[in-house]
Amino acid sequence: MTTGTPARSLRWMAEGHAYFLSHLKAVGDEELRGSSRLPGWSGRHLLSHVGHNAKALGRLAHWAATGEPTPMYPSPDARAEEIESGAAWPVPRLRAFVEAEHDRLAAALDRLTDPKWDAQVVTAQGRTVPARTIPWLRSREVWIHACDLPSGGDFSAFPEDFADALIEDALTRRRTAQGLRLQVRATDRDRRTDDSPAVVEGSAADLARWLTGRGTSVRLHTTTGAPLPELPPWL
């Protein structure tokens, strides 16, 4: 059994939240009423999602702490319903909501003792994972969605160790869900995703951006000359 606080993921989570807020503060209320960088979502939809995601992960933290099963969402449709409902709130309320719910989640995780980090919880996708996974799940949300804000952040600002972990996670998801068979190699790292020959090459930032469905770069290419597959947004 692996015990102990997942310090690295908690660091990513705190840094990602600060990064998200720094870009959120640079976006005016009127701009948030318009489109985000995610197709079909306004800035208010994005804020509603980020806030409700923290609230949902807080339920998993409660599950780990108490042993009382508290799923992220009470029904398969609840996630979408929460996002849509929150998107109708005034922007100032959404700004405050994002901060308050993240702070509640951070406080709940801070109260977990070492044995509780190994408690098994179930994600919204039905995966059973240890509670130590919760900070990683939140880290992905705040870093990636900072880049979805209007005039938001960029993957090039991600910490190197986080970007590397994100590439591995996203590639695993793409292989599982979509049968993506391509290997990748980050040209600014001395490493590959596995022992197979690299097929898609580019910087870690460009690979992470592409694998999460946030677009490609002219610097990203396949070693065979074949066009890059178009990937839909993930998260």
Give the model confidence (pLDDT) of 105-129 as tens digits: 999 999 999 999 999 999 998 999 9
pTM of the model: 0.93
Q: What is the CA radius of gyration of the chain?
A: 18
CB neighbour list of residue 125: distance below 8 Å, 6 or more residues apart: none
> What would the pLDDT profile of 203-233 be if each residue is shown by its tens digit?
999 999 999 999 988 789 888 888 888 899 9
> What would the pLDDT profile of 48-89 be if each residue is shown by its tens digit?
999 999 999 999 999 999 999 999 999 889 999 999 999 999
> What would the pLDDT profile of 186-199 be if each residue is shown by its tens digit?
998 876 556 566 68
Domain 7-153, CATH class in plain words = mainly alpha
Domain 157-222, CATH class in plain words = alpha beta
- What's the average model confidence in pLDDT over 171-192? 82
Single-letter amino acid code for the residue at 48 = S
Rounded to the nearest integer, the mean pLDDT of the chain is 92
How is the beta sheet containing 184-186 ordered, strand by strand?
Answer: 184-186, 200-202, 221-222
Domain boundaries, the chain: 7-153, 157-222
Measured from the Cβ of residue 91, the count of other Cβ atoms closer than 10 Å reads 17
Say what the pLDDT of residue 229 is: 85
- Whether the Cβ atoms of residue 220 and residue 202 lie closer than 8 Å to each other: yes
- Whether the Cβ atoms of residue 193 and residue 171 lie closer than 8 Å to each other: yes
Say what the pLDDT of residue 182 is: 78
Q: Is the pLDDT of residue 1 over 50?
A: no
Q: Cα(141)–Cα(135) distance, rounded to whole angstroms? A: 10
Q: Is the pLDDT of residue 6 over 80?
A: yes
In 112-183, the DSSP E strands lie at: 120-122, 128-130
Please give the share of the chain, as a percent, with pLDDT higher than 70. Answer: 95
